[in-house]
Amino acid sequence: TCSELFLIQTIFKWVISAAHCFKRSEVEVLAGKHDLDKPEESGEQLVGISRIISHQEYDTKTKESDIALLKLEHPLVFNEFVRPIDIWMILETLNLLLSADGPRVNRLQEVNVSLLALDDCNEYYKGRVHSSMFCAGKDEGGVDACQGDSGGPLSCFNGTRHELAGLVSWGVGCGRAKKPGVYTKVQQHVQWITDKTTHKQ
């Protein structure tokens, strides 16, 4: 199970997620869902996918370019439960918000995490974190994404609204000390997103 995030600006027929989530083609998007223990919630929308575009440079070993676009069969209806999100272009904030819905709970969760320096992250992961990625969590552990959260959003608050900074990509365990979560840096893929969503596919 992976998470997805509804995309940006005026491109309302696309969803963004992590490329490693899509090894099979039978995928649907369930938007506005808050609690999996409730069979039907008033704000939920189930939409089929007409196309999945994984980044052409996605590397299954290094997890570089771990990003994918999903084209919806029809646009979502925006309401208090379903909203688009813009892309955060300056990754310098220390307070990030991670939305997560991992396997240990059925209700959507969120946690505040801190952006970690790339050098520190590479010390923890022996140089495996590339410039197209970033780490977030806490040195002492305790807060993190986990299995089931893959492809989900890490957002930054710009003073008025949240903007998309990263996608849950990989890590070691969940919430371990000196093993923070590693995220795809979405701002590095803005041109790719624009090219794929504005040209006829």
Give tens-digit pLDDT for 75-96: 888 888 888 888 887 755 444 5
At 7 the pLDDT is 57
66 part of the active site: yes
Q: Which residues pair with 31 in a beta bridge?
A: 45
CA-CA distance, 146 to 154, in Å (whole number)?
13
- Segments of the chain scoring below 50 in pLDDT: 8-10, 93-95, 101-102
Give the pLDDT of residue 136: 92
Same domain, 173 and 194: no
Q: What is the pLDDT of residue 53?
A: 94
Q: Which of 54, 65, 132, 150 is catalytic?
A: 150
Residues 103 and 179 in one domain: yes
104, 66: one domain: no
Q: Which of 3, 17, 66, 169 is catalytic?
A: 66
Q: Are residues 194 and 175 in the same domain?
A: no
Give the CATH number for residue 19. 2.40.10.10
Instruction: Give the model's pLDDT for residue 11.
Output: 52
Q: Give me the pLDDT at residue 20, please.
A: 94
Whether residue 89 lies inside any domain: the answer is no
The reply to whether 54 belongs to the active site is no
Of 17, 20, 155, 189, which residue is the catalytic one?
20
- DSSP for 36-77 reads TTSS--TT-EEEEEEEEEE-TT--TTT-TT--EEEEESSPPP
Sign of CA dihedral 34, 35, 39, 42: negative
Q: Which domain holds residue 67?
A: 5-83+189-198
Active site residue 25: no
- Considering the domain architecture, whether residues 66 and 109 belong to the same structural domain is answered as no
Triad 143, 141, 149: Cα angle to 5°: 40
Judgement on whether residues 77 and 151 belong to the same structural domain of the protein? no
